Amino acid sequence: MESLAWWQRGIVYQVYPRSFQDSNGDGVGDLRGIAARLDHLSALGVQALWLSPIQPSPMADFGYDVSDYRGIDPLFGTLDDFDHLLQHAHARGLKLILDFVPNHSSDRHPWFLDSCSGRHSAKRDWYIWRDPAPGGGVPNNWLSHFGGSAWEWDEASGQYYLHSFLKEQPDLNWRNPELRSAMLDVLRFWLDRGVDGFRVDVIWLMIKDDRFRDNPENPGWRPGMSSHDRLLDLYTGDLPEVHDIIAEMRRVVDGYGDRLLIGEIYLPVEKLVTYYGRDGGGAHLPFNFQLIRAPWTASEVARIIRDYEAALPAGAWPNWVLGNHDQPRIASRVGAAQARVAAMLLLTLRGTPTLYYGDEIGMTDVPIPPELVQDPAEKNQPGIGMGRDPQRTPMRWDETPGRGFSQAKPWLPMGQGGPSVAAQHNDPSGMLALHQSLIALRQGNAALFGGAIEAVEVHGDVLAFRRTSGAERVQVLLNMGEAQSVSVAAGRVLLSTLPDAPDRVAAGPLPLRAAEGLILRLD
């Protein structure tokens, strides 16, 4: 246990910088704001904060379109503000993880402007340019994740460029060695500044087929699904060569000692686990999003846990994610009662948990009226649920009109009612107190933070598993349905997701209330 790294031992907390804390009254969160809220993270007990992109960006995709990989967008502050935040985080023992967006830059990045200047530009090949198809039109059938073709015509040079997302997000060409080394230098720039790691955006998409073959149709596509999903990503994602790039990134990160490489990956579990890399030389943590899409039943979640654990390569450290800035919030997906059960699940599973800001107070998706929609994913394909604004609304700190987030009109509405940090501050039955208790319990218990997971079982609507380390044995029971009893070995209840839990010494049939989660220490 002593040998666990900080990112194995601790919890990652995702901050969406636009929505955490505004310090300069423009309705958008910023770095000084985040620095002013570090108390909250310390009190919660997390180990690291991961910031969604803060680099200069025209914000076509809210920072996931970077126009300078080595700066800070003025909206968020300056490099000095960044250093200040890093220093204050480190002084508290908090690690800081940056988002790294390598698949594409902004179309305003000087590299792309140069690349666009003509076919003979020294940076032409830093992006992916193709002639029209022999009969004219787009080079192949590849589709953008945000709707329409992935190819954009450039009249001046008579070629198309590839954009897997918006046309304002041209894909970088990782087959070009100069681009590759320039991007690895970006990692060094931030590592030299002291950052503790990176969450790498769409890491499985970084390399595309060098023969530009058409993607096959997706037989599973149905109306109402994203138009991108009409085709399978056979030639545009998860290509074998991507692992060489990730290994290079990993070598750079490892060169700085105890730093972390996380990969954003939406793939089935058997493919996901290949991102640990050969001999563990890939990402330390290929993000595991299975709980995000899981049907919320004991049997489904049990199956997911067993399959994931079985698929992990030797020595690979697991991780679990309940929510992020691209997905509906957990409290909206499963409801307030089950969100408490979900918190207990996330914080008792084996492996590093990632917590999305606001979920610790039970924030729900905020409905966004059509005229206030910001997200290009929604604007391009309205009405089919692609919009990500509802889960990106500002953090609710207190009960004042601006909810303690901003004095100005916030960039997204705060929504009516809803929880706040202040309202839950002294409420032992609140979601915040539950998170604090769960985290304190996890961090103080070797079986929970570092032990094995065993006996993953389903009893009616109850998911049960044990965490063990040496003589320490912890039983977790999560009731995803109505009241029922489960037979347990002798032990004592340490924590319930529900208030007024009797101080139960258990042995034999143990009654669980509806939507109750329990953690027991077994004798």
CB atoms within 10 A of CB 167: 17
- Residue partners of 207: CB distance under 8 A and separation at least 6: 174, 175, 239, 241, 242, 245
Among 35, 41, 202, 463, binds ligand GLC (CB under 6 A): 202
152 given a catalytic annotation? no
Strand partners, 459: 462
Catalytic residue chosen out of the listed positions 152, 264, 365, 461: 264
238 given a catalytic annotation? no
- Residue 133 DSSP class: P
- Please, what's the largest Cα pairwise distance for the chain? 77
| Nearest distance, CB of residue 226 and ligand GLC, angstroms | 13
174 binds ligand GLC (CB under 6 A): no
Sign of dihedral through CA atoms 389, 390, 392, 396? positive
Pairs from 252-257 (Cβ < 8 Å, separation ≥ 24): 252/184, 252/187, 252/188, 252/191, 253/187, 253/191, 253/197, 253/198, 256/191
- Closer Cβ to ligand GLC, 203 or 331, answer by number: 203
CB atoms within 10 A of CB 108: 16
165 binds ligand GLC (CB under 6 A): yes
Which residue's Cβ lies closest to ligand GLC? 64
| Nearest distance, CB of residue 278 and ligand GLC, angstroms | 25
- Residue partners of 223: CB distance under 8 A and separation at least 6: none
Q: Where are the beta strands (DSSP E) in 141-243?
A: 151-154, 159-162, 197-200
- Closer Cβ to ligand GLC, 325 or 329, answer by number: 325
- Closer Cβ to ligand GLC, 377 or 510, answer by number: 377
69 binds ligand GLC (CB under 6 A): no
Within 263-282, the residues that bind ligand GLC by CB under 6 A are 264
Catalytic residue chosen out of the listed positions 22, 107, 196, 201: 201
Within 85-124, the residues that bind ligand GLC by CB under 6 A are 101
- Residue 147 DSSP class: S
List the x/- string, 295-334, binding to ligand GLC by CB under 6 A: ------------------------------xx--------
| Nearest distance, CB of residue 185 and ligand GLC, angstroms | 21
Among 171, 201, 360, 516, binds ligand GLC (CB under 6 A): 201
Q: Which residues bind ligand GLC (CB under 6 A)?
A: 61, 64, 101, 165, 201-202, 264, 325-326
Catalytic residue positions, numbered:
201, 264
